[in-house]
Structure 1
C-alpha cells in the first residue's frame, strides 16, 4: 500500500479545531483507500478529541494535526507545545469534559504520547485490513458473441 500523509496547522480556537477535524477527515477519505464507514467514523471522532484537547491545553502555542495511512495502519497525530502528560480517565458524571482520552482509548487499537522538545505528540493508531474484492469490485468481462 502506498503511504499517504496529511498535516494541518491548527490555530488555538474552537472554530479552528472544528475546521481541522473536517479537513483531516476529508483528507483521510481522499487517500482513496477503502477504510469502511466504521473506521472512518472512529478516526474522525478520535481526531476531534485529540485536536480539542490540544486546543484546550496548548496554552496558545502552535498545534498541528495529521494523519498517515500506510501498510502499518492509520495513524492520527496531534502535536502541541504543552509538555504536560495527558491522563486517561473518567470525569465526574456532571462534568462537561474529561472523557476525550477515554473515547480515544476505547476506539483506537493503540494510543499514546511522545514527548517533544517544544511539547508533545498525542497519537492513535487503527489497524487497517485490506478488504477482499467482492463481485461489485471486480472488473466486468465482456462475453463474446456465440459463447
Structure 2
C-alpha cells in the first residue's frame, strides 16, 4: 500500500468552530501519521518543523485536541516521543478514500431540469460562419449586377 502524499482532514473536523486552525492542522498531520489502530508517535519537534510552528505551539494545539476528546496522549520514557491515540471516528485510511458520488464539498446533485441554461457561443460557430459568408457573398454578387 502506498503512502498518502496529502493530509486529509475529515469534514467533521473542518466544520468544527470550537477548534482553532492550528489544532485542525495538527489533527490532520496526526491522522496522516496514525496507523489503523489510531496510534501516532511523532516528536513535538518533528510536528513543529513540518507544520511551521514551535514545539510549544504544537503542544498547545495537542492539548486543545485532548480537551475535545479527539486525542489522548500516552507519555513514554525520557528521550522517547509520546504515543498519541487519535479518536478512531476521525481516522481516514486509503480504504475509505474513494471517488465520491457527490463532490468532495458535499454539494447536492442537480438534475438536468435544475441546471441553468449555459450559452455556448462557440457551438456551431463554423456553420454559422459559413452561412454569414454565403449571405455576404450573395449580397455582393447581387450588388455587382449591372442595371440594364
TM-score by length of 1: 0.30
Largest Rg, 1 or 2 = 2
TM-score by length of 2: 0.30
Structure with more of its chain in strand, by fraction: 1
